[in-house]
Amino acid sequence: MIYYINVTSWNLLESFVTESLSPHAFYSERSFGNNLSRYLDGGHELSEFLVLSTRETKSEYSILVDEELLDKESLSPVRSHSTLFTYNKTIYYKKGLVSFRFSTEDLLNALEAEAHILLDVKCIEKYKADFFIGNRGYKSVDVSSKLSNGLSFDRVNHVSIDNKFNALKGAIIGYARGILTSSNSSEQALKSDLVAIKNLFAGLNTSIMMSGDAVQNPDSIIMSIQKAKSAYDILRQIKTNLFDILLQQFKEIQELALKRSEELSANKFVDKVAEIKRLEDKKEEIEHLIYGIEVDNNLSDLLSELECIKDQERMNGMKVGKSRLYFKKGTHEYERKAYLKEEISRFESTHSEYKSLLEQKREINDRIFKLSSNSTIYDNVILGIFARISDIINDLIKKVNDTEELNDVTLNNIEVQSNGNICVKVASASQAEVEYFNVALSYIIANPTSEPISDALILNLIKETGIIYKSLPSSSSAEGNAILQCLRQYWGYKNRRVPSFSIPNDLNVFQSIMSFYVKPFGYDQIERYMLNKRYAEKSYAFMLWGACLGYASLPKTFTNIIYQDSELYKPIDEYLETIRKGLLE
């Protein structure tokens, strides 16, 4: 049987954040922390209950839910309305068992457009094939006038389960995303090499422009580029010429940097103060000649009038908070300004001596500026080449990421008990780091919070999990001692008690944990940090981050790679459904 739920556009959008729909009262009590808000639609729903109908009703937006998604015992028929039912639980969507009806195509298009700009709305593409247009059915019942809004005595328990599942789902999606996009050692090395080359050129840019030196040790830079090119050619069947272009651009940088260095060196032997004074005197002579020509040809009057109009534009601009407010087309001032500029330009182009003197003045000003600021004629060209080099390296990094094969995702090493306790088995890691990881993960899931991730939250997590972990036998092992020492160091470092901290080199899972602790404010920050450190096991960092954030707050930039392929998300969804049903037992 199909049940119909009428909703507003905003509440429909919100349901694609959580991949579920809940009674309005749940939202103020849950620890989801997502940015969208759930509004009470008095015409379609009650505060404590969802209102479902077995009869198709007219509405701008309707959700069609298969009875398989419902707990039949929680469905309560409404007296005097044989087709209406109330439901006091969250309905979790499942592909194939839910669809979405829009009364017009314009409403459907508007919702999709709005979803594009909302980062948390992550499931539109997943369910887009289940959108359809239709407005058949009976007139919908105004539930605010027909039904009484009673209390749901099971709400606290339902909210608690939702909180736990939100954290567990965030953890599972995070783990799957990490496994899916993890790189093997060769891919990891190539990505690290490209990032190193990018940082190398950024440093070279600063060195050339600030110190005025030529390129130092260019052979090492060329070798770095050639090494990355060789690795790329081995790992990718389709070749690219971007590395060759990069080498050519670097050759140009070498030549220009040398010329710039030579010009700056020549300037060092010039008495800059005396030279600037000589140039200022020369400029004064030229300005006197320019003024004489302007007076003799009545050009000074035109220039003075033009400057008066510009001054008035500046005054008008100040009144409205702008640097200038130009006169509108068609006004006397606009037409007069255009005429004056045309006459001045015509005179300059026809009077060769005047034009030559203006050019000499510009050259003297440029020379004075260069002597005062250490700039050269090569600066803009060099900066432009560095900008192109940055674009080339970014294109290479994107090309590597886009052409990397995704890994298979298996979740059979994750055990979730009916009380929400979770345990991840890792065959290739030490017992100490696996036990600490499970302590941290279980603590996060057992203590969901609506607060955003912060340094204070991470430091408290380190403190509490450290206390729990010290009671486990593996904490006394060599690996356990290294873990506890690193946690103490990092806690002290963040509290400004010690100058630094070090992460053990041979504990891959713990390196992933620490990557989350050090860079907890975004998966992209975690990924960059691990890439720079050459840490490989990012699935564990993503799992902690996903659990801490909760599924509702995961951005679609994180989940898109999973939801773009049904072969990827279907087994994950089946696993999550098993977990959710286990929480209800």
Kindly report, residue by residue over 430-456, the tens digit of the pLDDT: 999 999 999 999 999 999 887 889 999
Q: If pLDDT is split at 50, 70 and 90, which confidence band does 57 have?
A: confident
Least reliable range by pLDDT among 17-31, 134-148, 301-315: 134-148
Q: If pLDDT is split at 50, 70 and 90, which confidence band does 320 have?
A: confident
* Portion of the chain with pLDDT greater than 90, in percent: 58
pLDDT at 585 over 80: no
Kindly report, residue by residue over 144-164, the tens digit of the pLDDT: 555 555 555 688 888 999 999
Q: Which residue has the higher pLDDT, 44 or 84?
A: 84
The pLDDT value given to residue 366: 79
Least reliable range by pLDDT among 98-112, 288-302, 455-469: 288-302
Q: Which residue has the higher pLDDT, 146 or 367?
A: 367
Least reliable range by pLDDT among 123-127, 186-190, 471-475, 574-578: 186-190
Domain spans of the chain? 2-153, 174-182+409-584, 186-269+378-403, 272-373
Least reliable range by pLDDT among 18-22, 177-181, 364-368: 364-368
Q: If pLDDT is split at 50, 70 and 90, which confidence band does 263 have?
A: confident
Q: If pLDDT is split at 50, 70 and 90, which confidence band does 374 have?
A: low
The pLDDT value given to residue 139: 61
pLDDT at 519 over 90: yes
The pLDDT value given to residue 134: 87
pLDDT at 35 over 80: no
The pLDDT value given to residue 281: 86
Task: Work out the mean pLDDT of the chain and round it to a whole number.
Answer: 89
Q: If pLDDT is split at 50, 70 and 90, which confidence band does 309 have?
A: very high
The pLDDT value given to residue 140: 60
Sheet harboring 50-53: ordered strands across? 75-78, 81-87, 50-53, 2-6, 61-66, 98-102, 131-133
Beta strands, E only, 411-494: 414-416, 422-424
Q: Which residues contact 288 (CB under 8 A, 6 or more apart)?
A: none
| Short-list 457, 576, 554, CA closest to 33 | 554
Query: For 370, what's the count of Cα atoms within 13 Å in the CB-facing half-sphere?
Result: 23
Task: Report how far residue 167's alpha carbon sits from residue 573's, in angstroms, rounded to the nearest whole number.
Answer: 15
Query: Which of the residue ranges 388-402, 418-432, 507-521, 523-537 has the most confident prediction, judged by mean pLDDT?
Result: 507-521
The pLDDT value given to residue 47: 77
Structure tokens at 431: 């017992």
pLDDT at 138 over 90: no
The pLDDT value given to residue 41: 65
pLDDT at 7 over 70: yes
The pLDDT value given to residue 432: 97
Task: Report how far residue 91's alpha carbon sits from residue 72's, in angstroms, rounded to the nearest whole number.
Answer: 12
Taking residues 251-269, report their average pLDDT. 85
Q: Which residues contact 136 (CB under 8 A, 6 or more apart)?
A: 56, 58
| Short-list 142, 171, 128, 122, CA closest to 20 | 122
- Specify the long-range contacts of residues 397-401, CB closer than 8 Å, at least 24 apart: 397/191, 397/194, 397/195, 397/198, 399/240, 399/242, 400/187, 400/190, 400/191, 400/194, 400/232, 400/236, 401/191
Query: Which of the residue ranges 14-28, 406-420, 514-528 has the most confident prediction, judged by mean pLDDT?
Result: 514-528
Q: Is 209 exposed, middle or buried (0-12, 13-18, 19+ CB in 10 A)?
A: middle
The pLDDT value given to residue 448: 87
Taking residues 164-181, report their average pLDDT. 95
Q: What angle do CA 354, 359, 364 make, to 5 degrees?
A: 125
Q: If pLDDT is split at 50, 70 and 90, which confidence band does 36 have?
A: low
